[in-house]
Amino acid sequence: MAPAPFINPALADLARREDTLIVFPHAQRTGGKTLRDEVLCAVYGADRVYSASRGTGTKAWKDVTKADLDGFRVYTGPSNFADLDKGRPTVFLGLVRHPLYRAISLYHYCRKGTWHKLHPVANRTTLEQFYAEASKINPPYFHNTQCLRMSGAADVRKVQKAVGRKYLGVGFTEEIGTFSGALGSVLGWPQIDVETAQTDDKRYAQQGSPEFRNRVLKESAEDLKMYEWLAAGAPAPVRRTFFSGLGAALTPGHKNVTLGK
């Protein structure tokens, strides 16, 4: 059963306001183009979605100004989260993908995209060779990138804090249609049909050795924790204190567990 998207109804009224800016920072290969083009542009109009890829804007989130955003209802792009004053209320949206499958998808994306800076590397290497080489060239593009986009830091605790305060919703790459429906139910959108692609575990079942898979998950451990936390329903993080840590350490058979589980 696919995990349910995270929705914060407490931010719905704010998101419905016409002066509120919906901000959608996303990592490459997580479904950002689909959510932008098939959902956000359909709901708000393509001319009201600020996007460098679509030619309606050129600036990163940290640089864009209130004047730049006049007339826009949505800002989207591969910028990192930052809770900045843009002269109007803001709410955020996010999409996440299992970090293993994002890494595999990046290889095929760079291999197909002749314009991509990493295309020459992808074109002459295997998946595992590409990851080893390209992740050294541009580590933030491969390692815990989704946490960076969602919170501005490669730290699941920062994600949990940002999601709890600023995110109207966070969905999953494999279930963008479900996410769109959940958002629509709280924002009053018309029904939008989004085609569901083959699930990643089936599409990439035969790709990557066990060693490769372990390496990816180790090097994006924070992204994996974030994904598992959201897939578990984004439970409130356990507050850790000196005494709770001491008690856990003194408990027989104590083992570390994934944060948020």
User: What pLDDT digit, counting tens, does each position of 72-85 carry?
Assistant: 999 999 999 999 99
Output Rg (C-alpha) for the chain, integer angstroms.
19
6-7 sheet: strands from edge to edge: 6-7, 167-172, 90-96, 21-25, 74-77, 49-50
Model confidence pLDDT, tens digit, residues 68-126: 999 999 999 999 999 999 999 999 999 999 999 999 999 999 999 999 999 999 999 99
The pTM (predicted TM-score) of the whole model is 0.89
Token reading at 139? 């580590």
Work out the percent of the chain whose per-residue pLDDT is above 90.
87
Burial of 29 (0-12, 13-18, 19+ CB in 10 A): buried
Whether pLDDT at 158 is above 80:
yes
Specify whether the CB–CB gap between 48 and 117 falls below 8 A: no
Give the Cα separation of 41 and 259 in Å (integer).
35
pLDDT of residue 223: 98
Whether pLDDT at 135 is above 60:
yes
Give the Cα separation of 21 and 85 in Å (integer).
11
pLDDT of residue 239: 52
Per the model's pLDDT, the better-predicted residue between 261 and 40 turns out to be: 40
Work out the percent of the chain whose per-residue pLDDT is above 70.
90
Model confidence pLDDT, tens digit, residues 219-256: 999 999 999 999 999 887 645 555 444 444 443 443 33
Helix, strand counts (H, E) of the chain: 14, 6
Model confidence pLDDT, tens digit, residues 3-55: 899 999 999 999 999 999 999 999 999 999 999 999 999 999 999 999 999 99
Burial of 241 (0-12, 13-18, 19+ CB in 10 A): exposed
Specify whether the CB–CB gap between 222 and 154 falls below 8 A: yes
Model confidence pLDDT, tens digit, residues 196-207: 888 999 999 999
